[in-house]
Structure 1
Amino acid sequence: MKNLIPIALTLVILLFSSCSETQTNNYATFDKYANSKNFEKGWIPSFVPKDAHNISETHNIDNNIIFGKFSFTNRTLINGFVLNSDKISNDSLQSIISSITTPSKPTWFKTDAKRPLIGKANNFIIICDTTNLKLLFLHQ
């Protein structure tokens, strides 16, 4: 009987540690994302263009924090971003990011683009790297 207690405790600890509320999803193309079960859940902004590729998102179900990114080819996304988003400063962005504890900021969420466009649209903070045609997004 004494041998069963450590085994039972180990199983309980393993069970609770495997119940993470943080999930990560990756999609090679917009079509793969659009055909996934996650399309309607709102973890990726509705303005993601159909030419988006290398789409990744990490979200926490408990606090609704989302980190995401995608690459794109059509530069008209940049023009729409410039016209339709409320600009925020890089200092404000860094302050917001540093205040988030869960989920942890993914290693691919790099905000070091040269002269990024930073704004807010549809409840997402957007960091647009106009040189490399990549867009990062954060929902808080």
Structure 2
Amino acid sequence: MRHYIFFLFLIIFSACSNTTHREFDTYKDVQQQGYLQNGWIPLIMPIDAYQIKEVHDLDLNYTFGMFRYSSIQIFSATFDTIQHYPLESIKSYIKEINRPPQPMWFIDIDKSAESSLESKKWNDFKFIVDKKNKTVYYVF
């Protein structure tokens, strides 16, 4: 009987998760699906973005995301105007997030060479920019 109760509890608990995962091949896919308007992906994402991933929790209002970009010129036109933000502040913010869990594809700041990273903030989005790999990670 205990096993049935545990199994039932597990099913109910799993069904109550408000964590959503999304992946898009290109910026155009994000636009066509109307996903920019919901606030989980930053509106300042460059138009040449690709391999876009995002996971968020509706209850706690936290988001992890990432995308890659092709053109340094297109990327720099927007991101060079955004204010810098301390990387240590982003690390602290990430440690506060308990749900959704940090995805495997999200950057491990402690294992990355900080000299190749830039950290920025736009509205509530905090960005970790890896220009060497043309990849942007963000949290909200």
Report the TM-score when normalising by structure 2.
Answer: 0.84
Q: Are 2:62 and 1:78 equivalent residues in the alignment?
A: no
Name 2:47's counterpart in structure 1: 50
Name 1:121's counterpart in structure 2: 122
Q: Are 2:105 and 1:108 equivalent residues in the alignment?
A: yes
Listed one character per residue, the Cα deviations across residues 57-76 of structure 1 (whole Å, up to 9, x for unaligned) are 01000111010000001213
Q: Are 2:32 and 1:35 equivalent residues in the alignment?
A: yes
Distance 1:29 1:103 in 2: 23
Q: Identity rate of aligned residues, in percent?
A: 28
Q: Are 2:134 and 1:130 equivalent residues in the alignment?
A: no
- Aligned residue pairs: how many? 135
* Paired AA for residue 127 in structure 2: I
Q: Would the aligned equivalents of 1:24 and 1:59 in 2 still touch at CA under 8 Å?
A: yes
Distance 2:76 2:137 in 1: 13
Listed one character per residue, the Cα deviations across residues 66-121 of structure 1 (whole Å, up to 9, x for unaligned) are 100000012131353222x2212222221111111111111111132542110101
Alpha carbon RMSD of aligned pairs, Å? Answer: 2.1
Change (3 A) 1:14 1:93: same
Q: Would the aligned equivalents of 2:44 and 2:78 in 1 still touch at CA under 8 Å?
A: no
Gaps of 5+ in 2: none
**Higher helix proportion (structure 1 or 2):** 2
Distance 1:138 1:8 in 2: 37
* Paired AA for residue 96 in structure 2: S
Gaps of 5+ in 1: none
Distance 2:128 2:23 in 1: 19
Bigger Rg, which one: 1
